[in-house]
Structure 1
Amino acid sequence: MDYNISIRLDKRRKKDTGLYPVKIRVYGKATTKEKWYSLNIDLTEKKFEEIWINPTNKNLRGENKELRLKLQAIENRANDEAKSLDVFDFKKFEYKLFRKTSDKNNVQYHFNLAIRKNIENNKISTSESFRYTLNSLANFSYEIKKCPIEKLKFQYIDIDWLKEYEKYMLTKGKSLTTVSIYTRTLRVIFNNAIEATDLNTEYYPFGKNKYKILRTKKVKKALNNKQLKTLFEAKPSNENEAKAKDFWFFSYACNGMNLKDIALLKNSDIKDDKFTYFRAKTFDKTSEKKEISIYLTDFTRKVISKYGTKDKKDFVFDIVDINDDHLVQYKKIKNFTRYINDHIKRIAKANKLPHEISTYWARHSFATNSIRKGTSMEFISEALNHSDLNVTKNYFAGFEDSTKKDFANTIMDF
């Protein structure tokens, strides 16, 4: 064993009551470090000696016997949790020890762990995805299985459970894409529990000859040249619509720049005739950070001039504030995106354009029209900040057939 665990009386500090705290001492042999964890039990030296060091049948009665059993249970559990670790680690040991024994197999507990971890890492959007999935599973578990989410164990979730959940979601009007997202998120939680050695792999319900997560082909929605011209020349009925149109086309003109990246763009990122930034969505997913360069045009300069902040030390646009924490930033960007989407839809409806248009369409419209203009796949891959060309090809595979047809007709135009 690379650790040593024992129950000790901490005589380093005597309390005002004349008692000493009883603690569990853990020594890591590899690190040669020790930690003492409080058990919220205080005893005299004599009482600790009677109960723990040299107990006799005479002394182990009533409260003394109960306390002895309690300390023994704590020591046994601490040893069991330490033994479950491949390599002893204080952080992992503490995580396992200081929780209810029922948390180990509890689905809600592991979801909450993932939510907290992502919030701590400032991944607010990802934490929300876990939260939405947990809420959906809670509704199904309670309504159909009559099991409150607090009592849902991993062992209850098998192939039949997942198929029933899939059917439940579809009858509720949820899309295949939503079912796929939620079940993939649940799979992450299963993997987390297995990695933490809280769950045996025999209970894993996904994979070959088990539950197959629905695979959906998401068609990339985009405006064609004629529709883009109509939208660009459309006359907004108010300032809100004008602002929505300006920011939609700013995204389009900046290689389909995500609205979050637009919100976080700083004046210091702008140098001469271009600006550079790192895409927030992929920044933490790759070890090699790719800086994206966008050259300014008359249109993008006009948008910056019209909506830019006066404080040149701050963000370019007044969407978030430099003093906002990540949670506040997330909420502001989410509200701003909803604002743009609501008003761009109104313009689209008034001009007989697709009503489902959103800021998401700007990125795909940029990619689609670049392809239609004969731009190489390599250029589009770099512009979209894809990790490699295969990602771009898969991205293109999701476009509508008309886009592929146009591309096929131009491929031999040398």
Structure 2
Amino acid sequence: MATSFDYENRDVTVTLTRKVRNVGDEIAPVFWRITYRRKHKFYKTGLAFTVSEWEDFLKRGLQRHSDMKKTLKNWLKRTLVPIIDTLVEDDGFSFDALNSRLGKSDITNLNEAFTAKIKRLYEDDRVNYAESLKSTLSSLQKFKKNPIQFAEVTVDFLRKYEKYLINEEKSVTTIGFYMRNIRTVINGDGEPYLKGSRYPFGAGGYKYTIPKGERREMALSLAEIHMIQAYQCTESIQLYRDLWLFSFYGNGINMTDICRLKYSDIQDGELTFIRKKTKNKRRTVVRIFIPVIRPIDEIMRKHGNKDRGGYIFPFLNGKENEKQRVRKIADVTKEVNDTMRKIAIDLKLPDGITGYSTRHSYVTILERLNVPRIYIQNSLGHTAESVTDSYSKMAERELRFKYNSLLLPKTNEEILKNLVDAAKKELVYN
């Protein structure tokens, strides 16, 4: 029922409403309900009524509520409506902007928006993401000492910041990384701090376009993989070389997921897990299965926890919180990358072999072996579609062992032969 307390301007509507919090409550508080693009926010009025009192209050001409009604109407007309009209007219309406105008928000500038989002990410144990935003905020604070007001974040501001980063000798990849983080914070989790003509990001000359670095993705041949496998490591680097091989034979699994694997993830001769990277991003969870073929089994037996409990690899033992775990995984990743650089030099392979090379190599090699693309996508966790739906009547488990076993050297003699052959081949760049 429409009342004299209702208001609407484009996508913003205001209604005075009685909101029952718990079933059976006789008295319920009254709020201003503001709706914007199907999202609701409730603002206290300080009033509370029973059902009968609420019905009486809404009736026109009821004198005993006249003072309350006058107070509410004055606040709606003189405070709320002008703020909404201004924000809507400037294409800048958001609940955060409204709260700021009403004095109900602590977020008044870009620095505070960064800080608030970083805090939420830490609370959700999304430490890597939080750390990436921290590094961007630190850079912004060096660029401009005073807090950055939202109105200052214009195309010109972003171009000047980009020039500053170039002078700081930051790579194009790093610049793009910082700019994407700024865009994420400006977007405000669905409630942008800047909208319409004030929103600075986009394509074309009137908006700021985030630069993209040239990503050089390196794939090794199968012979080169076997060459690395046959490399005689010193004891100090053997673990990290073996983790790299574990990643390759394990569907290109990254170091974050390797370090988080537990013995309880081994089921029916396979490792099964959900990627840490996608757990908080997808509504439909995609489970990955890795056949425990010979190299994976040997590496787990050699370097795994001897009591075969908890984490397969011991790196995260004693790490009681997510921040500690993330930092330890970063240390392990660095050791793997440093080790592979040393091995590449010894084997006269080009620079650029890192932990990511395993994933790209896994994909490229299986494609060249004519393995169905849908199988490769399933192995990486890119799709939940069944392999058998399109390609085979064989059990999916049998397919996984069949296709991943194509990566294995057949004999020791083959490995030795590859030591010679691989030296004559170049890495494949895509």
TM-score norm. by structure 2 comes to: 0.66
Cα deviation, 1:79-98, whole Å, max 9, x if unaligned, reads: 999998999999x9699855
SS in 2 for 1:352: coil
Give 1:280 deviation, angstroms.
1.0
Within the candidate set 191, 200, 210, 1:205 is matched to 200
Question: Which residue in 1 is equivalent to 2:138?
Answer: 135
SS in 1 for 2:272: strand
Which 10-residue stretch deviates more, 320-329 or 293-302? 320-329
Cα deviation, 1:326-346, whole Å, max 9, x if unaligned, reads: 111111111111122222222
AA in 2 matched with 1:205: P
Q: Distance in 1 between matches of 2:297 and 2:268?
A: 11
Contact 1:240 1:343 in 2 (8 A): no
Within the candidate set 105, 108, 112, 1:109 is matched to 112
Contact 2:216 2:429 in 1 (8 A): no
**What percentage of aligned pairs have identical amino acids?**
26
Question: Which residue in 1 is equivalent to 2:124?
Answer: 121
SS in 1 for 2:370: coil
Question: Which residue in 2 is equivalent to 1:226?
Answer: 223
AA in 2 matched with 1:371: E
Aligned Cα root-mean-square deviation (Å)? 3.9
Contact 2:201 2:208 in 1 (8 A): yes
Within the candidate set 251, 261, 266, 2:262 is matched to 266
SS in 2 for 1:281: coil
The yes-or-no answer on 1:284 pairing with 2:280 is: yes
Cα deviation, 1:165-186, whole Å, max 9, x if unaligned, reads: 2222223222212111211111
Within the candidate set 185, 190, 204, 1:189 is matched to 185
Q: Distance in 2 between matches of 1:32 and 1:322?
A: 44
Deviant stretches of 4+, over 3 Å: 1-4, 29-36, 76-90, 92-100, 195-202, 310-313, 400-404
CA change 1:229–1:157 in 2 (3 A) is same
Contact 1:82 1:88 in 2 (8 A): no
Give 1:33 deviation, angstroms.
10
The yes-or-no answer on 1:157 pairing with 2:160 is: no
Question: Which residue in 2 is equivalent to 1:385?
Answer: 381
Give 1:27 deviation, angstroms.
4.4
Give 1:307 deviation, angstroms.
1.4
Cα deviation, 1:169-209, whole Å, max 9, x if unaligned, reads: 2232222121112111111111118x446545432111243
Give 1:387 deviation, angstroms.
3.7
Q: Distance in 1 between matches of 2:45 and 2:271?
A: 50
Q: Distance in 2 between matches of 1:97 and 1:312?
A: 56
Structure 1, gaps ≥5 residues long: 5-25, 37-75, 142-147, 390-399, 405-414
Question: Which residue in 2 is equivalent to 1:214?
Answer: 211
AA in 1 matched with 2:202: G
Q: Distance in 2 between matches of 1:262 and 1:346?
A: 22
Give 1:138 deviation, angstroms.
2.1
Q: Distance in 1 between matches of 2:101 and 2:222?
A: 56
Q: Distance in 2 between matches of 1:97 and 1:251?
A: 52
Q: Distance in 1 between matches of 2:102 and 2:134?
A: 22
Which 10-residue stretch deviates more, 338-347 or 240-249? 338-347
Contact 2:218 2:427 in 1 (8 A): no
SS in 2 for 1:28: strand
AA in 2 matched with 1:253: Y
AA in 2 matched with 1:339: E
AA in 1 matched with 2:339: H
SS in 2 for 1:280: coil
Q: Distance in 2 between matches of 1:313 and 1:244?
A: 21
Contact 1:77 1:97 in 2 (8 A): no
Contact 1:28 1:88 in 2 (8 A): no
Q: Distance in 1 between matches of 2:120 and 2:325?
A: 18
Q: Distance in 2 between matches of 1:382 and 1:229?
A: 24
Q: Within 5 Å, which residues of 2 pair with 1:2-401?
A: 2=15, 27-28=30-31, 97=103, 99-100=105-106, 103-104=107-108, 106-141=109-144, 148=145, 150-192=146-188, 195-196=190-191, 198-208=193-203, 209-237=206-234, 239-321=235-317, 324-387=320-383
Which 10-residue stretch deviates more, 123-132 or 334-343? 334-343
Q: Distance in 1 between matches of 2:250 and 2:283?
A: 24
Question: Which residue in 1 is equivalent to 2:7?
Answer: none
Contact 2:319 2:325 in 1 (8 A): no
AA in 1 matched with 2:215: K
Cα deviation, 1:266-319, whole Å, max 9, x if unaligned, reads: 111112321211111112211111111111111111111111113444111101
CA change 1:328–1:3 in 2 (3 A) is farther
TM-score norm. by structure 1 comes to: 0.68
Contact 1:250 1:300 in 2 (8 A): yes
Structure 2, gaps ≥5 residues long: 1-13, 18-28, 34-40, 47-77, 386-425
AA in 2 matched with 1:140: F
Contact 1:278 1:290 in 2 (8 A): yes
AA in 1 matched with 2:303: Y
AA in 1 matched with 2:119: R
Contact 1:78 1:97 in 2 (8 A): no
